[in-house]
Amino acid sequence: MEFVKEFAIFLHQNGIIKFGEFTLASGKKSSYYVDLRLVPSYPLEFRKMVKYLENDIAQNIGLDEFDSIVSVPTGGLVIASALAIETVKSLIYVRNKPKDYGTSKSVEGKIHDGMKVLMIDDVATTGGSVANAIKSLRESNISIKDVYVIVDRMEGANDVLAKLGVKIHSVLSILEITELLYERNLIDHAILEKVKMQINR
């Protein structure tokens, strides 16, 4: 738990999470922006995050419960690569859309029928891109029951993935981050309320 508190403060202090008015890729407005692609630029914190993830997976799922780690480019792939090295697991990834040349595969890497995978992504929002990746994996007869993300934005991904029989686990939720920062007087009450409103809308 100590790591989680330190990590939330680290994200804020280094501008990896910013509060204000932002427009997301989907066109939606947001009261905060989180860019976890910056984390690997801080190798010490990046390694701590990956080790925390490894321990959490070992305790909650078990490292013997899956054959391979899978991700979706690009945000989660850097984290998944580091985790694959630490856990000595093979790594595969799912393209957003199949290549229109060569083998036109949507799943890259060595796969086999009945393979069990664990998915890693950086941020969960509505769960749309992860749901599409899960469908691509299942079309290739790959079994998936769990997804791990670093930050859950709490905007519907849980429900979307639950319908597919997949459980989402997160290191931190946006609510936990903002409550921690508020307790430490790093953000004011108005910011906390804006984030709470965004989650509930």
Hey, where are the domains in the chain?
2-200
Question: For residue 91, what is the enclosing H or E element?
Answer: strand 90-94
Burial call 21-60: b when 16+ CB within 10 Å, e when fewer: eeeeeeeeebbbebebeebbeeeebbebbbeebeeebeee
pTM attached to this predicted model: 0.91
Q: CA 193, 198, 201: angle at the middle one, nearest 5?
A: 120
Please report how many Cα atoms fall inside a 13 Å half-sphere around the Cα of residue 144, on the Cβ side: 32
Closest listed residue to residue 174, CA positions, set 23, 12, 61, 54: 12
Q: Is the peptide bond before 87 cis (omega within 30 degrees of 0)?
A: no
Closest listed residue to residue 179, CA positions, set 199, 165, 159, 156: 199
pLDDT given at position 28: 82
- Tell me the percentage of the chain whose pLDDT exceeds 70: 94
| CA pair distance 87, 73, nearest whole angstrom | 20
Phi, psi for 91 (deg, rounded to 5) = -125, 130
Burial call 124-141: b when 16+ CB within 10 Å, e when fewer: bbebebbbebbebbeeee
pLDDT given at position 127: 84
Q: From the centroid of its chain, how far is CA 161?
A: 13
Instruction: Summarize pLDDT for 105-127 with one digit per residue, the tens.
Output: 788 899 999 999 999 999 998 88
- Do the Cβ atoms of 187 and 178 come closer than 8 Å? yes
- Do the Cβ atoms of 29 and 198 come closer than 8 Å? no
- Do the Cβ atoms of 89 and 65 come closer than 8 Å? no
pLDDT given at position 102: 53
Segments in the chain below pLDDT 70: 1, 97-104, 200-201
pLDDT given at position 73: 80
CATH assignment of 2-200, given 3.40.50.2020, 1.10.10.10, 3.40.980.10, 3.10.150.10? 3.40.50.2020
The 8-class DSSP code of residue 97 comes to S
Number of Cβ atoms within 10 Å of the Cβ of 99: 11
pLDDT given at position 44: 96
- Do the Cβ atoms of 79 and 53 come closer than 8 Å? yes
pLDDT given at position 129: 86
